[in-house]
Amino acid sequence: MKHALAAAVHALNRQDFGRAKAIIDEVRKHFPSHPDALHLAGYIQLVEGKPDDAIGLIRQAIRKAPKVGLYHYNLGMAYFMKRELEKARDAFQATIRLDPKSRDAIDNLAIVQHELKRLREAEVLFEQAVKISPEDPRAWLNLAKIRMELRKPRQVDEAVARAAELADAEDGDFLHEVGKIYYGLSRHELAERYFRRAIEKTSEDPLLFYALGKVLGERGEYGDAEEALKKARELGASIPKTALALADLYVTSGEIETGRGALDEAVEQGGDDPDILLEAAQTLSLIGDFDLQEALLQRILKKDPENVAARVHLAFVPKRKLDDTGVAFMEKRIDDPAIDAKVRTSMGFALGNHYRNIKEYDKAFRYYKRGNQLKGYSWDRLAYRGWVDRTLKIYSRSFFEERADWGLDSRLPVLIVGMPRSGTTLTEQIVSAHSAVHGAGEFGAVTGLSAGPGLQVPRILDEAESILAVDAVDCEAMARNHLARLEAQARHGESFVTNKLPHNFQLLGLFALEFPCAPVIHIRRDPRDNLLSIYFQDFGGYHPYAYDLKNLAFQYWEQERLMSHWKSLIPNPVFTLDYEKLVTDLEGMIHRLAAFLGITVEDAMKRFYEQERQVQTASKWQVRQKLYSTSIGRWKPYEKHLRPLFEALREFKPDDIPDEYGLFEM
């Protein structure tokens, strides 16, 4: 029998399953209860895709010989095939108890824990795997992936660096995986770099071009993004997914009708795929077609009434209120770890919105806080302050004096900057109602808009000092790339194109070199209202500071430090707009904005809410409404919950910036 079982194993290793099965069947005629024969018979059922039969045979083997780790391992594989994840987890855990250094069992248990949304447990297991196999690059890459999902950017860098030391750093698959990790962290510059390197090695992979198109689109490089996505489709990428990506691209860049066409194609080709319908619904919200957005979500729920993501998305459709059933549905599930953390995060913000609307402020704050906790980002305040300190030192008066003749004298670009939720969208909506102004929305970072073939754009947000490598020729080339993208937006000969990406306040030094005459509008808002509004918003992009009250206070003052510095040094005309004054004296502020830009006031600016154009931010519904003063003093009902914010605002306030909002009087 021993020799027969060895022959069966040998046949299995050669993938000669017919021979192996014949041998095992013969053994079982004489030894029907032998555990090895039972296990091997079960293993054959497993590889033939019959997990139920496999489970029955392997469990018999375990009853006969409960301390054989391989039996438990293959039982786990059978349960995993059936998607019975808790039973798979138990089987893999049993394997590890018997063989603590079984890498396969550890990796598979980590995968199961990940699918059960137990991310911290999965991280511990992948950490265990790298201790067992410290020279295995894939183990380090797995660790980097889970840390990406846990929003630990510094630890991700460490794991990726270790994997790169051990792997073939020019392997296309490896580069693709690293790019996806950085894309997951919204570190788009790094993601793009890895995707492009991977394409150099594997130029016919449609998934690479799809990934590159997505990241380029999110960086505002719309022409290159469209080219990459069309290449992905040409190479065989999913038609619904590429159509959706193109729809987002067209809508974001203002080509609404083209975007609608791509969206229709995605929905038609995607059939009843809930993921396609969910993403299409999100794009419809950008267009402002809320009725069709709701119809798609209801279509999902008609087919699958328990689709949690669709129910949550439905709660964010403007003017649609959660009913008691929807509230109960979410409250029951918000702490269920089996539900994707992103969906549970959205539940927190949806419930917060619900209770805020019905003025149950304590409950509202509790759920907003839960949503922020589930977001899971970490942020290194000291590292960010170090970047700001270096930026202030680099961009001195002499820095700009020595480069006074650089760039282009165009006034077409208008940057609208400030903290998110400070009023940048509202300001752009008012200004762009003028016939001479095109509102391009959050058109992209200055660095991304400056990029072009063969041009090394400084990675300012990663390395502040990289600006020092730029010369006058580079600066003019970047300015021309940037200007060409804006000119493509000014389809009706507008004199100004606004870009209201708030965080361009970090890049005003580069913008000033490229366009020293171009206008900059800086929006300020009472930090209590501004930061609370950020805390109550589930952002789609990378805002790692936004989910903790103390981090929010720190970021606010660092933004104020930077803006104070820029205003004192850059050659550009800068208009500082106080949100509170805009709300309380709309007409007066419109006249001041028009005078700043050198345009005459048009009646449409006073009726900004009548504009029919896409708004791709959290303010997409509000800016279609008339202006009300209820946005001032919104922090007051939550005052008792905001003590950590108030204390941090006082703690981090620079000495040389005045207390204009009475924070020290509280």
Of 115, 139, 165, the position where a domain reaches its end is 115
Distance of CA 418 to the CA centre of its chain: 20
- Which CATH number covers residue 598? 3.40.50.300
Q: Which of 153-157, 192-196, 502-506, 652-656 has the lowest mean pLDDT?
A: 153-157
- Predicted confidence at residue 622, as pLDDT, reads 47
- My answer on whether 370 and 496 are in the same domain is no
For tokens 């008066």, name the residue.
Answer: 397
Residue 257 lies in a domain: no
pLDDT over threshold 70, residue 617: no
- Judge if 371 and 389 occupy the same domain: no
User: What CATH number is attached to the domain comprising 91?
Assistant: 1.25.40.10
Q: Tens digit of pLDDT for each residue in 261-317? A: 999 999 999 988 999 999 999 889 888 888 999 999 999 999 998 888 888 888 888
Q: Is pLDDT larger for residue 90 or for residue 223?
A: 90
Q: How confident is the model at residue 220 (pLDDT cuts 50, 70, 90)?
A: low
The reply to whether 354 and 403 lie within a common domain is no
Residue 180 lies in a domain: no
Tell me the average pLDDT across 182-188: 79
Tell me the mean pLDDT in the region 612-624: 46
Separation CA 375–CA 346 (nearest Å): 9
Average pLDDT, the chain: 89
pLDDT of residue 254: 67
With CA atoms as reference, report the closest residue to 458 among 450, 32, 110: 450
**511 located within any domain:** yes
Give residue-wise pLDDT tens across range 553-575: 999 999 999 999 999 999 999 99
Do 435 and 349 have their domain in common?
A: no
Contacts of 454-460 with CB under 8 Å at 24 or more apart are 455/481, 458/510, 459/189, 460/506, 460/507, 460/509, 460/510
| 602-611 long-range Cβ contacts below 8 angstroms, 24+ apart | 602/433, 602/434, 602/435, 604/433, 604/434, 604/435, 605/430, 605/431, 605/433, 605/434, 607/433, 608/426, 608/429, 608/430, 608/433, 609/429, 611/429, 611/432, 611/433
Beta carbons within 10 angstroms of residue 437's beta carbon: 23
Using pLDDT thresholds of 50, 70 and 90, give the confidence band for residue 82.
very high
Residue type, 343: V
Distance CA 187, CA 164 (A): 18
Residue 612 pLDDT exceeds 70? no
**Residue 390: domain span:** 381-665
Instruction: Tell the residue number behind the tokens 């989910």, with chain if given.
Output: 547
Whether 626 is covered by a domain: the verdict is: yes
In a domain, 158, yes or no: no
Question: pLDDT tens for residues 448-460?
Answer: 889 888 888 898 9
Structural domain includes residue 588: yes
Residue bearing the bigger pLDDT, 127 or 378: 127
Same-domain check for residues 352 and 385: no
The predicted-structure confidence for 113-155, as pLDDT tens digits, reads as follows 998 878 889 999 999 999 999 999 999 999 999 988 887 777 8
Q: Judge if 360 and 398 occupy the same domain.
A: no
Same domain for 415 and 358, yes or no, is no
492 and 556 share one domain: yes
In DSSP notation, 577-609 reads: EEHHHHHH-HHHHHHHHHHHHT----HHHHTGG
Count other C-beta atoms under 10 Å from residue 430's C-beta.
28
DSSP 3-state helix, strand, coil percentages of the chain (rounded to 5)?
A: 65, 5, 30
Phi, psi of 79 (to 5 degrees): -65, -35
Percent of the chain with pLDDT over 90: 60
The Cα 140–Cα 164 span in angstroms is 9
Query: Domain check: are 354 and 468 in the same one?
Result: no
Q: Residue 503: inside a domain, yes or no? A: yes
Please give the tally of structural domains in the chain: 3
Three-state SS at 18? helix
The percentage of the chain sitting over the pLDDT mark of 70, rounded to a whole number, equals: 95
Let me know: does 554 contact 547? Beta carbons within 8 Å. Answer: no
On whether residue 311 sits in a domain, the answer given is no
Last residue of a domain, one of 115, 139, 173: 115
* Judgement on whether residues 503 and 649 belong to the same structural domain of the protein: yes
Do 480 and 369 lie in one domain? The reply is no
Structure tokens of 578?
Answer: 């106080």
What sections of 490-537 are H helices per DSSP? 508-514, 527-535
**Which of 356, 376, 396 represents a domain boundary (last residue)?**
376
Per-residue pLDDT for 176 more than 70?
Answer: yes
User: Could you tell me if 560 and 594 lie in one domain?
Assistant: yes
User: Which element (helix H / strand E) includes 497?
Assistant: strand 496-499
Give the pLDDT of residue 602.
94
Is pTM beyond 0.85? Reply is: no
- Residues 340 and 373: beta-carbon distance below 8 Å: no
Q: What is the pLDDT of residue 614?
A: 45
